[in-house]
């Protein structure tokens, strides 16, 4: 795809697609609940459609209309042994969270994903689940898909996460919900808490004591109505686009503002961005309107406890930092190495092709601003977020950008290029 923009500016308002993390979980909890769950503003990206497909193969009726997804849940025991392999596509969230659900169901199932999923480590989930009694086998002693899960009764656990990962935490939570008694999950740093909020939204209980999350097993859930806020990880691309493109102002409506996800807003403030945020609340999640204008930015350091709150936004933050005065240093972001690509190396390599002064470190990167970016040939490497970073970069390059494998963007943001064209003046 050739991206050509002649000194553009951006203006107008959009509503980005529904939050990917919440969309996944709304299907999962709807399937595990008794009764009907109606989901509005669901993200119909490829990852979330993989979750729907898996639950249909587990015997759950899921209806789709233009405006809603309707899940007809029959409780935990309503899941049936699938006659076909569960294909999670490119979705790490589907793969890891489904492991926690399937580990405690009394049947056999097999999960597989695409080539990228086949390279992503699953032992961070299979190891704690095995300690709870799960029987999971796969390539390289259960490290990689395909995975075979022979569901059985699970034991309670007290598990300290070795890395701050909402996917691992949520997988263990789903397993703990099926055990008899109380389980404790300890986080090194707070991670996104959509699973905890959804447990409560579907009528369950969960408590937090400091860094300890206490999950009571044997809970049942009731179907409910879910509104999925706009995904701040998707909004981040247009926040950055507005900040770095001359004479721009972009309004992002109904965007999720869950505090465990708003690290990028804190970084924008640190870097001096011209931004306003107005908050409201809906369906248990904070939402609001974010307005960003062209900004004079300064470099900053991003590390420590903020990293889990913006891990998916780091690639586009790297682009933002190329247009800031001074150095930006990103640390403690090793988790980027096990995403759809090694996002540290991939972001650095692709932005360098456009003239960025950027280098990789063991746990992050150093970006030296302010850089003039030039056109060039780049690739998403099959990673939706890398693809969107390159597309946003093309707004300010001197010359055209040719983006290979742009199709990967549909995983999380099918309307991305339509929204981009809508905002370009």
pLDDT tens-digit series, residues 380-421: 999 999 999 999 999 999 999 999 999 999 988 999 999 999
Which residue ranges make up the annotated binding site for 3-phosphoshikimate?
Answer: 20-21, 25, 165, 167, 312, 339
C-alpha distance from residue 188 to each of 301, 307, 322, 379 (Å): 20, 12, 31, 34
Binning pLDDT at 50, 70 and 90, where does residue 345 land?
A: very high
Q: What is the DSSP string of 119-134?
A: GS--HHHHHHHHHTT-
d(CA 179, CA 218): 6
**How high is the pLDDT of residue 393?**
98
140 is catalytic: no
d(CA 347, CA 229): 27
- Alpha-carbon Rg for the chain in angstroms: 21
Binning pLDDT at 50, 70 and 90, where does residue 82 land?
A: very high
Q: Residue 38's closest CA among 17, 3, 67?
A: 67
d(CA 253, CA 95): 30
Which residue ranges make up the annotated binding site for phosphoenolpyruvate?
Answer: 20, 92, 120, 167, 343, 385
Q: Residue 423's closest CA among 237, 249, 264?
A: 249
Binning pLDDT at 50, 70 and 90, where does residue 22 land?
A: very high
Domain 20-215 has CATH 3.40.50.300: no
CA angle 186–187–193, rounded 5-degree value: 110
What the block records as the tokens of 294 is 């062209």
Binning pLDDT at 50, 70 and 90, where does residue 16 land?
A: very high
- Per-residue pLDDT at 282 exceeds 70: no
**How high is the pLDDT of residue 197?**
95
d(CA 155, CA 395): 53
Q: Which of 312, 327, 357, 383 is catalytic?
A: 312
CB of 13 within 8 A of CB of 414? Answer: no
Looking at the domain that runs over 2-17+229-423, which CATH code has it been given? 3.65.10.10
- Per-residue pLDDT at 6 exceeds 90: no
**How high is the pLDDT of residue 188?**
94
Looking up tokens 């003046």 gives: 425
Whether the predicted model's global pTM rises above the 0.75 cut? yes
- Per-residue pLDDT at 283 exceeds 80: no
Backbone angles phi, psi at 250, to 5 degrees: -125, 135
Angle, helices 232-244 vs 263-270, to 10°: value is 20
What the block records as the tokens of 383 is 């990673």
Return the domain boundaries, the chain.
Answer: 2-17+229-423, 20-215
CA angle 32–35–40, rounded 5-degree value: 85
**Bridge partners, 61 (sequence order):** 72
**CATH topology identical between 2-17+229-423 and 20-215:** yes
Q: Give the residue-averaged pLDDT of 78-88.
A: 97
Binning pLDDT at 50, 70 and 90, where does residue 341 land?
A: confident
Q: Give the residue-averaged pLDDT of 24-48.
A: 97
Q: Give the residue-averaged pLDDT of 295-299.
A: 98
Binning pLDDT at 50, 70 and 90, where does residue 285 land?
A: confident
Q: How confident is the prediction for the chain on average, in pLDDT? A: 96
110-125 pLDDT, tens digit per residue, is 999 999 999 999 999 9
Q: Give the residue-averaged pLDDT of 251-258.
A: 96
d(CA 406, CA 242): 21
**How high is the pLDDT of residue 162?**
94
Burial 320-346 (b: 16+ CB within 10 A, else e): bbbbbeeebbbbbbebbebbbbbbbeb
Helices (H), 42-122: 46-57, 92-102
CB of 157 within 8 A of CB of 176? Answer: yes
Percent of the chain whose predicted confidence (pLDDT) is above 90: 96
Helix, strand, coil proportions of the chain in percent (round to 5)?
A: 35, 30, 35
C-alpha distance from residue 151 to each of 128, 129, 157 (Å): 15, 11, 17
Half-sphere exposure of 27 (CA within 13 A, CB side): 31
d(CA 347, CA 354): 11
d(CA 377, CA 370): 21
């Amino acid at each position: 795809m050739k991206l050509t923009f002649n000194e553009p500016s951006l203006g107008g308002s959009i509503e980005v697609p529904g939050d990917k993390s919440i969309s996944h979980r709304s299907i999962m909890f709807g399937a595990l609940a008794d009764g009907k769950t109606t989901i509005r503003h669901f993200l119909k990206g490829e990852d979330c459609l993989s979750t729907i497909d898996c639950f249909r193969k587990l015997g759950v009726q899921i209806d789709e209309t233009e405006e809603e997804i309707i899940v007809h849940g029959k409780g935990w025991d309503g899941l049936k042994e699938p006659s076909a392999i569960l294909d999670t596509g490119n979705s790490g969230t589907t793969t890891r969270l489904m492991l926690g659900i399937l580990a405690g169901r009394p049947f056999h199932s097999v999960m597989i994903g695409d080539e990228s999923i086949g390279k992503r480590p699953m032992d961070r989930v299979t190891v704690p689940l095995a300690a709870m009694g799960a029987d999971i086998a796969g390539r390289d002693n259960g490290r990689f898909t395909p995975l075979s899960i022979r569901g059985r009764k699970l034991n309670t656990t007290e598990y300290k996460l070795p890395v701050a990962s909402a996917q691992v935490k949520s997988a263990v939570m789903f397993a703990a919900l099926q055990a008899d008694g109380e389980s404790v999950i300890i986080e090194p740093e707070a991670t996104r808490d959509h699973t905890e909020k959804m447990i409560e939204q579907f009528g369950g209980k969960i408590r937090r004591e400091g860094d300890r999350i206490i999950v009571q097993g044997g809970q049942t859930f009731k179907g409910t109505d879910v509104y999925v806020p706009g995904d701040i990880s998707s909004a981040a691309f247009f926040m950055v686009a507005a900040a770095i493109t001359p004479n721009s102002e972009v309004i992002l409506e109904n965007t999720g503002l869950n505090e465990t996800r708003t690290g990028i807003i804190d970084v924008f403030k640190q870097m001096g961005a011209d931004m306003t945020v107005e908050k409201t609340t809906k369906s248990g999640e904070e939402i609001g309107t974010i307005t960003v204008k062209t900004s004079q930015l300064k470099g900053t350091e991003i590390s420590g406890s903020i990293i889990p709150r913006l891990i998916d936004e780091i690639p586009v933050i790297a682009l933002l930092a190329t247009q800031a005065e001074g150095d930006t240093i990103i640390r403690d972001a090793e988790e980027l190495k096990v995403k759809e690509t090694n996002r540290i190396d991939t972001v650095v390599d692709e932005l360098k092709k456009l003239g960025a002064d950027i280098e990789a470190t063991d746990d992050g990167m150093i970006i030296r601003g302010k850089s003039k970016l030039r056109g060039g040939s780049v690739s998403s490497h099959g990673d939706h977020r890398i693809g969107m970073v390159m597309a946003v970069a093309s707004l300010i390059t001197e010359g055209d950008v040719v983006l290979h494998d742009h199709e990967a963007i549909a995983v999380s943001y099918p309307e991305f290029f339509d929204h981009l064209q809508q905002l370009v003046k």
